[in-house]
């Protein structure tokens, strides 16, 4: 495994690499969820590239950026273990040699849920992901479905910019108690960590009622279950169409998903679950 901090060095190395290039962009603080992306990338490609970069343009809260966990040595050890070939660990100046002033039109996908709660966040995601895809030039890039809205927006952006890359979504990886793996989980207090699996329990109970009870009733059931813990504060529970991310009012056979954002003390957790109504 080789590690590069400059895009010019990575590009030179990849220019001599043979076969299909797979890419997993990350912000570090890696866990088993990231490892699952890299393993899939390894299984489906000849060359595996992973980036580690905490992108400042997608943080609308400076404190969140400052507190985001950074564990480079442990990250590199994990990546070598799961089969990465190339790791790109750029500085901000290497990604953005000039300020990135681009403003993206995501067709409204960025105006709901996370976009409504975190203004400017997805524009920053568009900036960094488009830069990384241009630098690495992969055939395939892998993203986790935990950030489902982000995945939808990246797919939209790739089509809009006509970038020659296939975007693959990979299933959420969970702890034994159901909590979706996240780099932010390590920042939870023991009390909030103990309460957090209630999010998964609420999603499961709600999804089991899909098609049997009205949409708003199911949404309320999920919200109330999570809010039953005084340690968890619900920001939103949205039941949406997978393609448009618009909230539905009636059950449909189209692919659907329930998406939630919850505050556990100072830490903000997101999760989602697929809904299939037959």
Distance CA 219, CA 259 (A): 10
**For residue 208, what are the contacts with CB-CB under 8 A and spacing of at least 6?**
none
Nearest CA to 141 out of 20, 59, 242, 255 is that of 20
Q: Which residues contact 172 (CB under 8 A, 6 or more apart)?
A: 33, 144, 145, 146, 180, 181, 271, 272
Known catalytic membership, residue 34:
yes
Which of 266, 224, 231, 261 lies closest to 116, judged by CA?
A: 261
**Distance (Å, whole) CA 98 – CA 96:** 5
Sheet with strand 267-275: strands edge to edge: 232-241, 256-264, 267-275
Q: What is the CA radius of gyration of the chain?
A: 19
> Could you say which of 31, 34, 121, 192 is catalytic?
34
Closest CA to 277 of 225, 228, 216, 212: 212
- Active-site residues, by number, are 34
């Amino acid at each position: 495994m080789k590690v590069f901090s400059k895009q010019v060095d990575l590009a030179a190395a990849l220019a001599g690499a043979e076969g299909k290039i797979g890419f997993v962009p990350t912000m570090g603080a890696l866990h088993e969820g990231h490892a699952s992306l890299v393993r899939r990338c390894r299984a489906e490609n000849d060359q595996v590239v992973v980036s580690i970069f905490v992108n400042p343009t997608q943080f609308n809260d400076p404190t969140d950026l400052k507190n985001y966990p950074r564990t480079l040595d442990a990250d590199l050890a994990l990546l070598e273990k799961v089969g990465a070939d190339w790791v790109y660990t750029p500085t901000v100046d290497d990604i953005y040699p000039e300020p990135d002033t681009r403003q993206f039109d995501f067709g409204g996908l960025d105006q709901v849920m996370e976009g409504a709660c975190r203004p400017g966040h997805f524009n920053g995601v568009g900036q960094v992901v488009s830069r990384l895809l241009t630098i690495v030039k992969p055939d395939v890039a892998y993203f986790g479905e935990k950030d489902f809205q982000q995945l939808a927006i990246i797919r939209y952006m790739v089509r809009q910019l006509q970038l020659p890359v296939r975007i693959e979504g990979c299933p959420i990886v969970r702890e034994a108690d159901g909590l979706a793996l996240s780099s932010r989980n390590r920042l939870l207090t023991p009390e909030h960590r103990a309460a957090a699996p209630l999010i998964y329990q609420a999603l499961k109970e709600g999804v089991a009622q899909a098609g049997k009870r009205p949409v708003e009733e199911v949404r309320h059931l999920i919200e109330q279950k999570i809010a039953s813990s005084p340690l968890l504060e619900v920001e939103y529970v949205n039941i949406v169409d997978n393609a448009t991310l618009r909230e539905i009012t009636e059950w449909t056979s189209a692919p659907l998903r329930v998406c939630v954002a919850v505050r556990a003390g100072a830490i903000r957790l997101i999760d989602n679950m697929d809904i299939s109504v037959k």
